[in-house]
């Protein structure tokens, strides 16, 4: 799932309180036009680092980039084929050093790369983001990663994400106007190598998600949806679990309570043939889902599309989380509570499972709706003083 879809989903959740996210009121104090982002390089690497702040200017809806002082620059008109984008890079900190940049009210990404600048292009539809699941993408051998953030009048949301791939390790944080600094995304000691070793040892094609440079250096592990797209992972990798779920709820009822702050809003799912149909507490049909394939589950899209509404979207995101975490057979009341008891079936999203296992706080964005039950690696504050990004060791 793209960062745009995730930001929209987050916004919908904040409005509705979906999936355990509590609705956020506007901050008592005005959030300034920019806030400082302190970037610290603890990677242990000698490569030069390049930083980018790219996104949508919330006051105008224009897409562009921000310089180190938070100044906005719209993308120029692009061509077809795409033309090179302006160099939006900011020199990053050397190993053991920090820099501070200003980030504006954006919904976008903070990219960072090691050793080489990321190749961006613009087309008639705007910026062309890197798509390293495509072997011909010019960035496929560049070591890079990104954090997603939204800064608006209600504060900042900033995460570490592995929705598209797992690569260069980093953590994010925010310093509130009062209280302790909030952080998330740090791997356990040895967690970087631990993840790749665990994925390499997982039977069933999961090791094929690991991508290397021609010299054998690991650059990333692709998310399983991209693995299916590229023929690296079997397209039916989750089919056995889906079949068992479909069989179970052909004779019993799946209850979905998608809003933690609305416990009386419930939907009831039953399977007939190839379709799971949901009714509300009045017995009215509200939506239905075709039996999903593995790609729909990993991407939380297609047959599990989640529009930004108050019915189908929240049900779909709950189903998506249940399939990825393999909890639909062990709990007929979804999404349940807490972040334990996930990934216990032999058929599951092993990519997400192994990422969560290596996180200090157990939280990650291993798939698009990992925020169901608040198990995602995201921090928020309504009146931030400063945000942080730490480039962590490759160990």
Domain boundary among 344, 360, 377: 344
Number of domains in the chain: 2
Residue 73 belongs to what domain range?
20-229+351-391
Mean pLDDT of 266-294: 98
Tell whether 200 and 60 lie within a shared domain: yes
Tell whether 244 and 193 lie within a shared domain: no
Tell whether 136 and 274 lie within a shared domain: no
Instruction: Give how far Cα 265 sits from Cα of 256, 288, 311, 314, 354, Å.
Output: 9, 17, 10, 11, 33
User: Rounded CA gap, 199 and 10, in Å?
Assistant: 29
C-beta of residue 59 within 8 angstroms of C-beta of residue 107: no
pLDDT higher than threshold 70 for residue 289? yes
Look up the CATH number of the domain holding residue 326: 3.30.920.50
Q: What percent of the chain has pLDDT over 90?
A: 91
pLDDT higher than threshold 80 for residue 23? no
- Note the pLDDT of residue 29: 63
Domain boundary among 309, 325, 344: 344
pLDDT higher than threshold 80 for residue 25? no
pLDDT higher than threshold 60 for residue 4? no
Tell whether 305 and 357 lie within a shared domain: no
> Which DSSP string do the residues of 167-209 spell out, in sequence order?
-S-EEEEEEESSSPPEEE-PBPTTHHHHHHHHHHT-TTTGGGG
Residues serving a catalytic function are: 148, 164
Tell me the pLDDT tens digit for each residue of 47-70: 999 999 999 999 999 999 999 999
> Which DSSP string do the residues of 287-298 spell out, in sequence order?
EEEEPP-HHHHH
CA 147 to chain centroid, in Å, comes to 9
Q: Is residue 263 part of a domain?
A: yes
Tell whether 224 and 296 lie within a shared domain: no
Q: Is residue 2 part of a domain?
A: no
C-beta of residue 82 within 8 angstroms of C-beta of residue 124: no
**Local confidence band at 21 (pLDDT 50, 70, 90 cut-offs):** very low
């Amino acid at each position: 799932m793209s960062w745009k879809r995730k930001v929209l989903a987050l916004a919908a959740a904040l409005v509705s309180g979906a999936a355990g996210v509590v609705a956020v009121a506007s901050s008592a104090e005005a959030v300034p036009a920019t806030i400082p982002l302190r970037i610290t390089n603890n990677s242990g690497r000698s490569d030069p680092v390049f930083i980018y702040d790219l996104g949508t200017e919330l006051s105008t809806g224009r897409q562009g980039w921000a310089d180190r002082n938070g100044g906005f620059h719209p993308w120029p008109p692009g061509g077809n084929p795409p033309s090179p984008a302006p160099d939006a890079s900011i020199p990053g900190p050397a190993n053991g050093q920090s820099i501070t940049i200003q980030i504006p009210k954006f919904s976008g990404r903070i990219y960072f790369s090691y050793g080489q600048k990321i190749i961006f292009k613009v087309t008639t539809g705007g910026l062309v983001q890197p798509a390293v699941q495509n072997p011909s993408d010019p960035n496929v051998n560049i070591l890079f990663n990104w954090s997603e953030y939204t800064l608006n009048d209600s504060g900042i949301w900033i995460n570490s994400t592995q929705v598209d791939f797992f690569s260069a390790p980093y953590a994010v944080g925010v310093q509130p106007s009062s209280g302790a600094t909030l952080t998330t995304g740090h791997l356990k000691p040895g967690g970087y190598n631990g993840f790749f070793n665990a994925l390499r040892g997982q039977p069933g094609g999961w090791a094929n998600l690991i991508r290397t440079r021609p010299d054998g250096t690991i650059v990333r592990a692709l998310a399983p949806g991209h693995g299916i797209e590229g023929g690296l992972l079997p397209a039916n990798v989750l089919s056995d679990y889906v079949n068992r779920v479909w069989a179970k709820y052909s004779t019993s009822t799946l209850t979905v309570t998608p809003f933690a702050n609305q416990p009386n809003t419930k939907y009831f799912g039953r399977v007939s043939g190839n379709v799971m149909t949901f009714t509300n507490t009045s017995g009215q049909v509200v939506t239905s889902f075709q039996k999903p394939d593995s790609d729909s589950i990993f991407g939380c899209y297609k047959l599990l599309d989640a529009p930004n509404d108050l019915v189908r979207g929240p049900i779909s995101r709950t189903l998506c989380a249940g399939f990825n975490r393999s909890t639909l057979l062990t709990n007929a009341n979804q999404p349940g509570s807490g972040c334990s008891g996930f990934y216990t079936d032999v058929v599951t999203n092993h990519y997400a499972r192994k990422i969560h296992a290596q996180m200090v706080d157990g939280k990650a964005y291993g798939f698009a709706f990992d925020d169901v039950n608040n198990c995602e690696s995201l921090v928020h504050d309504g009146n931030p003083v400063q945000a942080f990004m730490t480039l962590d060791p490759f160990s």
